[in-house]
Chains A and B, each alone.
Chain A
Amino acid sequence: MNATNATNVLRTVRLGFFYMVLNLKTIYRQPAALFFVVAFPIMFLVIFSSLLTFEIGIPEEAGANVPAIKFSQYFVAGIMGVAIFGTSFNLLGTSLAIQQFDGTLKQLAATPLPKASFFIGLVGTALTYTVLQLVIMLILGVAAYGIELPDAHGWLTLIWIVLLGVPAGCVLGIAITKIIPSANAAPAIIQAPFLFLQFISGVFFTLASVPTWLQWVAGVFPLRWVAQGLRSVFLPDVYKFAEPGMNWQLELAAIVLAVWIVAGLGLSVLTFKWDRSG
């Protein structure tokens, strides 16, 4: 019995991998997706870091001798959050919705591809493109804009933020397909909350500048926690005094993201519609 289970798990993962490879190819050959989702955050990093070269700091009351940092050092954390959500929530949600309506998923549902493999493939696709984006951003950032790389502890945080943030964004992308009425409506319906969340989640503006009630709204969704986690990676530790609760809140971030993945993925997978073409 155990041997059969192990074989099944292996098969599920293996088929998920094959589906991921297929997906990576499909997206790679879509210039629009590649440009707007994968290249956009990188372009943002380049433009903002080139234009805004001033330094920023936090109020003295946080402590003495707070070091000022380059704008790019602050910005890279936020734009990486956007990249993580762009490939998971935005790209995945849009392409899933389109595939629900054009019959692609209906055909896929006729094959023995296990549901679990399908979702493994989707998350794997988002994860791959995210890692690709982040690597490019880091190389560019260090080479051209003087961004300082994190320490060992920061790297670890970066890794788990990506490993939890991408699946959480995927869950949100799968969930939003439920309210999309047609393939044409998909990009617009997904862009709206994506932009809204970017503005209230401390990506471009500090969380402290967002009204408290909107902070609460942002706190429900994963992006706020991903962005905060990324700031803990790229900003000097003393900058945590500018955060809500004067803390990076990493434990809370891990819990919120994990809840999204476990509860959200379970729910979305159970209620996922393969076919809305008819």
Chain B
Amino acid sequence: MPPAISISGVTKRYGSIVAVDGVDLEIEAGQVYALLGPNGAGKTTLVEILEGYRDRDAGEVSVLGFDPQRQRGELNRRVGIVLQHSTPMEGLTPREMLNFTARLYDHPMDTDEVLELVGLTEHADRRGSKLSGGQKRRLDLATSVIGNPDLIFLDEPTTGFDATARRQAWEVVRGLTERGATVILTTHYLDEAEHLAQQIGLIKDGRIIFEGDITALRREMETDTRISWQPPSGFDPADLPDEWKEVSIGADGRLSLPTQTPTVHLARLIEWSRNRGMEEIPELQVERPDLEEMYLELVDDSEALETADQS
């Protein structure tokens, strides 16, 4: 089967800012692919180029065999899109909205079936203005699948949800993916990518910095254990052995060494300290950060930290 999405060298600039920087991607049909990264990493820009909302400055793009920039009409017949912000439709009910949308497609799903799928059956005839945020979001999901698309884009489908609402939304997304469509999910929640995606592309500063499944991402991120300690006053960084080039110095002067062989390095550290007359290493810590922490460090972004607080 040809890939659902195949792009190379895709670049988008806004003035001097490079939002998407030469991205290559190949996404297999039938899988859930998560574009994971902090806000401002270029996720939405990249996805909007794939959806046809934005024109790229450079690169090749093929989505289901179409170029979204030139063949958007054809592409729209086979794609469903959930945008980052819910569509306001105060005067209309979910059933009316879905019935209308269904008519735009060649082989739509049944409205009642879709309402059931997203759990809106009970609210099907309630005006949009009376729906809660979570219900509106589920309606967005319903609208994106009613046309029976081969490819679904979900742009941050659970941002702003509480924990329960997120779990419910994940159930809905899982239900959608069981239908066999390819799903491109953008998210800044690591656990969301972990729960839903078979493949993850980690995006930062407009570049894909990692690609693989969650196990590979875990391996990639969990490789490093951290040895950290407080050096004596008057410490000179030049005094460190060459093999500890990766040591970082915190704001409080604390030294921190990421390593895959903590035992070896710990022995060296003890020896190094003894040589400098320290029997006891002040505030010594050997720790293995959890996945979320590693992710936050990787993307190193205040937005992501905020996200971690919410979850």
A107 touches B87 (CB 8 A): yes
A174-193 at interface with B (beta carbon < 8 Å): none
Interface pick from A21-29, A86-94, A229-237? A21-29
Contacts of B105 in A (CB 8 A): 111-112
Known: A15-B103, A277-B85. A110 touches B79 (CB 8 A): yes
A107 touches B77 (CB 8 A): no
A18 partner, pick from B86, B103, B143, beta carbons under 8 A = B103
Cβ of A219 under 8 Å from chain B: no
Cβ of B2 under 8 Å from chain A: no
Known: A110-B51, A110-B83. A104 touches B88 (CB 8 A): yes
B83 partner, pick from A15, A25, A30, A103, beta carbons under 8 A = A103
Chain B 72-109: CB-based contact to A (< 8 A → 1; otherwise 0): 01001101110101111111100010001101110000
> How close is A94's CB to chain B, nearest CB, in angstroms?
15
Chain B 132-156: CB-based contact to A (< 8 A → 1; otherwise 0): 0000000010011001000000000
A18 touches B87 (CB 8 A): no
Contacts of A114 in B (CB 8 A): 73
B104 touches A104 (CB 8 A): no
Known: A25-B96, A107-B83. A112 touches B76 (CB 8 A): yes
A110 touches B76 (CB 8 A): yes
Bin the interface of chain A by size.
Answer: 20 to 34
B104 touches A113 (CB 8 A): yes
A103 touches B79 (CB 8 A): no
> How close is A237's CB to chain B, nearest CB, in angstroms?
45
Chain A interface SS verdict (over half): helix
Contacts of A19 in B (CB 8 A): 100
> How close is A29's CB to chain B, nearest CB, in angstroms?
4
Bound CA span A106–B53, Å = 8
Cβ of B127 under 8 Å from chain A: yes
A111 partner, pick from B86, B127, B147, beta carbons under 8 A = B147
> How close is A15's CB to chain B, nearest CB, in angstroms?
6
Considering only CB atoms, which chain B residue lies closest to A275 in the complex? B53
Q: 27 A-B residue contacts at CB 8 Å?
A: A15-B103, A18-B103, A22-B96, A22-B100, A25-B91, A26-B92, A27-B91, A29-B90, A29-B91, A29-B92, A102-B88, A103-B85, A103-B86, A104-B88, A106-B53, A106-B87, A107-B83, A107-B87, A110-B79, A110-B80, A110-B83, A111-B76, A111-B101, A112-B73, A112-B104, A112-B105, A114-B73
> 9 smallest A-B Cβ distances: which pairs?
A29-B91, A110-B81, A107-B87, A26-B91, A112-B77, A112-B76, A111-B104, A112-B104, A22-B100
- Additional A-B contact list (15), CB under 8 Å, known A18-B104, A103-B86, A110-B79: A19-B100, A26-B89, A26-B92, A29-B92, A103-B83, A103-B87, A106-B53, A107-B140, A110-B81, A110-B144, A111-B76, A111-B147, A112-B73, A112-B104, A114-B73
